Amino acid sequence: MTRISFSEFVRTTHALRAASIGAVIVGVYSLIPIWKESSAFHQIADHSSGVYASLELLLGLLLVLRSNAAYGRWWEGRTLWGKLVNVSRNLVLKANSLVDVSREDRVALESLVHQFAADLRDQLRTHADGSSPAEEPHRPSDRVLQIYRLLNDWRQRGLVSDDLLRVLDSELREFLEVCGGCERIQKTPLSPSYRIFIWQGIFLVFATLPWSLASEMGIWSVPTVMIHAYFFIGVQVLAHSAEDPFGTDSDDLNLDAIVATIGRARVTA
């Protein structure tokens, strides 16, 4: 069973700080209806809070669908990078055990495999919006091309047969499959209209909810609204953070650690 320490429980992230700030803003706003109840305008804008049960249920359902879609993208990105770790190890192991080449050739292959992972990480982070200038080279593809040229050199030197080359190619071609999958995630974000629609729903609910609770709960409506706002805003912000898993935020994939793991996939004697 996974245990969570107190430091982990209270640790905050960029997304959680944003949710906390949003909840505080809603809490400060909720003081206006409290003041209204003790003023000469106490009978203005009073309405029942019962209608918000169905509204919050609908908004919660939309947020669940939103977070599931975002987390699906995050998990797919993690699966692709896990696959890259596996195929990198397989390629290096097969080349070291099946091909009788010099130590320099083995080191060259291992270095190119590591550089491909680093280039893919940098490509995804540099072009976080999915755009890429036409004149700029696609470094992951260039790195795979260099590996193919190295393998072809081994074939021309008689170190690799055509059958063995197909065995190595079965691993190497997965490199660009992983690259294409990551770029598909990056270049096809969720519908902006859907995101905006949810933010509009959150705004409308918490712009009107304090006015209905103030007359029923008094000052206790402030913490009640803040708790609601923290979770609703938090789910939306976390979903937005998970939607693009290739950045450098604490909620993103730790690509630096994965690249380092691929760099340690060396068995050169």
The predicted structure's pLDDT at residue 132: 58
- Among 33-47, 84-98, 204-218, which stretch is predicted with the lowest mean pLDDT? 33-47
* Rounded Cα distance, 141 and 179, in Å: 9
**Does residue 269 surpass a pLDDT of 70?**
no
The predicted structure's pLDDT at residue 15: 77
> Tell me, what amino acid is at 227?
I
E strands, 113-258, are: none
Question: What percent of the chain has a predicted confidence (pLDDT) above 70?
Answer: 85
Per-residue model confidence as pLDDT tens digits over 164-184: 999 999 999 999 999 999 999
CA distances from 53 to 50, 58, 59, 221 (A): 6, 9, 10, 15
Q: What is the mean pLDDT of residues 16-26?
A: 89
Per-residue model confidence as pLDDT tens digits over 53-86: 777 888 888 889 889 999 999 999 999 999 999 9
Residue 19 near residue 230, CB atoms below 8 Å? yes
* Rounded Cα distance, 143 and 83, in Å: 18
The predicted structure's pLDDT at residue 206: 87
**Does residue 9 surpass a pLDDT of 70?**
no
**Does residue 2 surpass a pLDDT of 90?**
no
